[in-house]
């Protein structure tokens, strides 16, 4: 593709000198795990979020799994989430011993529908995981109010929403815990896998530090059953560079999204909604069209890469079918999965490339 849908290498190319300095600092130190880079990144990301504690771990999936483990999830406890998400959200629930309960999404922003959440809570509900999909914050005030009334903790899945905010408050600071991914394509990405958990609870923070490393609260002494899920020094050093550029990158994504939205206003494309009180960071720019596959083929012909996030909702996938209501049980989710299409939106896109994408979309619309 002339213009790929995602291009994490573009960030590396743009900031190679800073990344080289950061990686050389680690190589020269001879310290590759449990060192100053991870500690510094945890502090810097906590300050960015305005959250007291950040605990670095090996991946975003691990972040969700360990967050559930920190809450002492019992086998068979229900965890309410959505099916329009990366499968990692649900895989973490199952691996932690929970039973995923799927609720539908709102038709406009495709995040958890608070009304569906309220109807799904039972005495067996142990946690709620809203997903800030495509960089768009979920309806956190309503979701947290419903969960709080039922005395159920909220774990925010912030894998796609670094820097997004709701009512002027960062995502990742609303729930009792929040999980972040640093996969290379994320708004805050590394050069491989990485993740973190944010919390304002000092006891949970301490528990998580033990859980991520064999249950150690002091070296080589396991006080609880733990695991090996460490963020390494090289990834942390690169993430410190990425964090320095995150706000500018998010602003560029928002500007690209606004340009697309203006350009498609006179078409039958459904563009992402914009809200006064919920600021998306446009991890993905996801349009909807009833003839999505035809549009996608046309864009490929013009050299523009696209993605589908996500083609099959989790409740209709393989082993996870056992937890869902089957086809038709989540009508908004299922319709969206047949219509969504992700366009290129990473910060390194040039103005010329943005114009090319716009022209290609308009030329590829069915009926043109």
Residue 3 in any domain: the answer is no
**Do residues 131 and 223 both lie within one domain?**
yes
Mean of pLDDT values over 242-258 = 98
Domain end, chosen from 240, 260, 285, is at 240
**Do residues 252 and 359 both lie within one domain?**
yes
CATH number at residue 230: 3.40.640.10
DSSP sequence for 153-191? -BEEE-TT-TT-EETTEETTSSSSEEEEE--TTSSS--S
Q: Tokens for 13?
A: 């190319």
Residue 368 has pLDDT above 70, yes or no: no
CA 81 – CA 83 distance, rounded (Å): 7
CA 134 – CA 85 distance, rounded (Å): 9
Residue 1 in any domain: the answer is no
Question: Which stretches of 15-139 are DSSP H helices?
Answer: 16-29, 36-49, 60-70, 87-95, 114-120
| pLDDT in the model for residue 78 | 98
pLDDT tens digits, 180-239: 999 999 999 999 999 999 999 999 999 999 999 988 877 888 888 889 999 999 999 999
CATH number at residue 252: 3.90.1150.10
pLDDT tens digits, 91-134: 999 999 999 999 999 999 999 999 999 999 999 999 999 999 99
**Do residues 134 and 254 both lie within one domain?**
no
**What domain range includes position 134?**
8-103+111-240
**Do residues 214 and 252 both lie within one domain?**
no
**Do residues 235 and 271 both lie within one domain?**
no
Residue 153 in any domain: the answer is yes
Residue 149 in any domain: the answer is yes
| pLDDT in the model for residue 216 | 82
**Do residues 22 and 169 both lie within one domain?**
yes
Instruction: Identify the DSSP state of 264.
Output: T
Predicted TM-score (pTM) of this structure: 0.97
Residue 225: what are its φ and ψ, rounded to 5°? -75, 120
Residue 139 in any domain: the answer is yes
Domain count for the chain, please give it. 2
Closest CA to 7 of 252, 142, 185, 132: 185
201: left (phi over 0), alpha (psi -120 to 50) or beta: beta
Interhelix angle for 36-49 vs 16-29, to 10°?
Answer: 140
Residue 115 in any domain: the answer is yes
**Do residues 135 and 256 both lie within one domain?**
no
Query: Percentage of the chain with pLDDT > 70?
Result: 100
| pLDDT in the model for residue 167 | 97
Please state which of the ranges 73-77, 196-200, 239-243, 285-289 shows the lowest mean pLDDT: 73-77
**Do residues 25 and 96 both lie within one domain?**
yes
Triad 49, 50, 51: Cα angle to 5°: 90
**Do residues 262 and 172 both lie within one domain?**
no
Question: Which residue did the predictor score with more confidence, 221 or 82?
Answer: 82
Residue 271 has pLDDT above 90, yes or no: yes
Residue 2 in any domain: the answer is no
Mean of pLDDT values over 151-168 = 98
281: left (phi over 0), alpha (psi -120 to 50) or beta: alpha
**Do residues 76 and 194 both lie within one domain?**
yes
Domain end, chosen from 211, 240, 269, is at 240
CA 59 – CA 179 distance, rounded (Å): 9
Residue 154 has pLDDT above 80, yes or no: yes
pLDDT tens digits, 15-30: 999 999 999 999 999 9
Mean of pLDDT values over 291-305 = 98
SS3 128: strand
Mean of pLDDT values over 160-180 = 98
Domain end, chosen from 207, 224, 240, is at 240
| pLDDT in the model for residue 143 | 98
Residue 219 in any domain: the answer is yes
**Do residues 69 and 143 both lie within one domain?**
yes
CA 78 – CA 288 distance, rounded (Å): 32
Average pLDDT, the chain: 97
**Do residues 153 and 231 both lie within one domain?**
yes
């Amino acid at each position: 593709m002339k213009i790929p849908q995602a291009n994490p290498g573009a960030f590396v190319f743009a900031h190679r000198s800073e990344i080289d300095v950061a990686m050389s600092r680690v190589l020269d130190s001879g310290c590759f795990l449990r060192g100053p880079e991870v500690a510094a990144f945890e502090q810097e990301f906590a300050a960015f979020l305005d959250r007291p504690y950040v605990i670095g771990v090996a991946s975003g999936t691990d972040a969700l799994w360990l967050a559930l483990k920190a809450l002492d999830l019992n086998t068979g406890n229900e965890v309410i989430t959505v099916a329009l998400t990366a499968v990692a959200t649900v895989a973490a629930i199952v691996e932690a011993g929970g039973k995923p309960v799927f609720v539908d999404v709102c038709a406009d922003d495709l995040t958890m529908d608070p009304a569906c959440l309220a109807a799904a809570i039972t005495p067996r509900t142990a946690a709620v995981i809203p997903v800030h999909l495509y960089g768009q914050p979920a309806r956190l005030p309503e979701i947290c109010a419903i969960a709080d009334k039922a005395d159920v903790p909220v774990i925010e899945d912030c894998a796609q929403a670094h820097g997004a905010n709701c009512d002027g408050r960062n995502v990742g600071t609303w729930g009792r815990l929040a999980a972040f991914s640093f996969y290379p394509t994320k708004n805050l990405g590394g050069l491989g896998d990485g993740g973190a958990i944010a919390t304002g609870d000092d006891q949970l923070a301490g528990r998580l530090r033990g859980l991520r490393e064999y249950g150690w609260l002091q070296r080589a002494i396991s006080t609880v059953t733990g695991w090996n899920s460490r963020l390494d020094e090289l990834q942390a050093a690169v993430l410190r560079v990425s964090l320095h550029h995150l706000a500018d990158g998010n602003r560029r994504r928002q500007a690209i999204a606004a340009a697309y939205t203006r350009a498609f206003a006179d078409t039958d494309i459904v563009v992402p909604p914009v809200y006064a009180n919920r600021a998306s960071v446009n991890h993905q720019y996801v349009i909807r069209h009833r003839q999505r596959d035809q549009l996608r083929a046309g864009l490929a012909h013009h050299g523009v890469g696209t993605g589908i996030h996500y083609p099959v909702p989790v409740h209709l996938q393989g082993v996870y079918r056992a937890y869902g209501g089957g086809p038709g049980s989540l009508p908004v989710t299922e319709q969206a999965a047949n219509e969504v299409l992700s366009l290129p939106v990473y910060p390194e896109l040039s103005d010329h490339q943005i114009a090319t994408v716009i022209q290609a979309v308009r030329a590829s619309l069915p009926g043109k």
